[in-house]
Amino acid sequence: MIKLHDLEFEPYISEEEITQVIDRISDEVNRDFGDKTPVFIGVLNGSFMFASEVVKRFQGDCEISFVKLGSYKGTESTGEVKTLLGLNQDLKDRTVVLLEDIVDTGNTLVELDQILKQSGVKEYKVVSLFFKPEAYKKSVPVDYIGMEIPNKFIVGYGLDYDGLGRNLTQVYKRKE
């Protein structure tokens, strides 16, 4: 059990399970993009650990960039996505692999879908370490899913609660 700010969290997904999921997703990405030179785009702050692991396992040439958007306050989505740090790279006619730590409401994905389409990408695919199907009500496809999880609040492995918990090597869920 750990405590972050005013909430308690219990162990949920081990570091070993996360590594196995990343190995599987990375194999799929290598299979599908190994003959291209994709631009990996990590969605900050949460995806920094996941993005690093996927890019380290990529066997071809690639580039990496990051975008920072935000929609959470505490444990709840505000429903509004704010672009905090945009892309500073020309993506016209490029293949993009979007790396997300978690997809829940999909609000961030809708915003990124618009940004990527406006930038003229040739194609893009969404890769998410965690996916909450109960919470997802949008139409943007999530092409690679590491693990489907219930609609519970989690921290660790890049995910936080008001800034804390990102450095944890395993994932914890909010104690009920």
Q: For every one of its 176 residues, what pLDDT tens digit does the chain have, with 9 covering 90 and above?
A: 999 999 999 999 999 999 999 999 999 999 999 999 999 999 999 999 999 999 999 999 999 999 987 655 555 555 565 665 677 789 999 999 999 999 999 988 998 999 899 899 999 999 999 999 999 999 999 999 999 999 999 999 999 999 999 999 999 999 98
Chain centroid, CA 129 distance in Å: 6
Judged by phi (left if over 0) then psi (alpha if -120 to 50, else beta), residue 64 lies in beta
pTM value > 0.85: yes
User: What stretch of H or E contains 4?
Assistant: strand 2-4
Q: What is the pLDDT of residue 1?
A: 95
CATH number, span 2-174: 3.40.50.2020
Query: In this structure, how many other beta carbons lie within 10 angstroms of the beta carbon of residue 23?
Result: 11
pLDDT of residue 81: 58
Distance CA 26, CA 127 (A): 10
The single residue listed with the structure tokens 């989505």 is 77
Contact 162, 136 (CB under 8 A): no
Quick one: pLDDT at residue 74? 55
Q: What's the pLDDT at 148?
A: 98
Please, is 116 exposed, middle or buried when counting C-beta atoms within 10 Å of its C-beta (0-12, 13-18, 19+)? Answer: buried
What residue type is 114 in one-letter code?
Q
Looking at residue 168, what is its pLDDT? 98
6 belongs to the catalytic site: no
32, 90, 104, 143: which one is catalytic?
Answer: 104
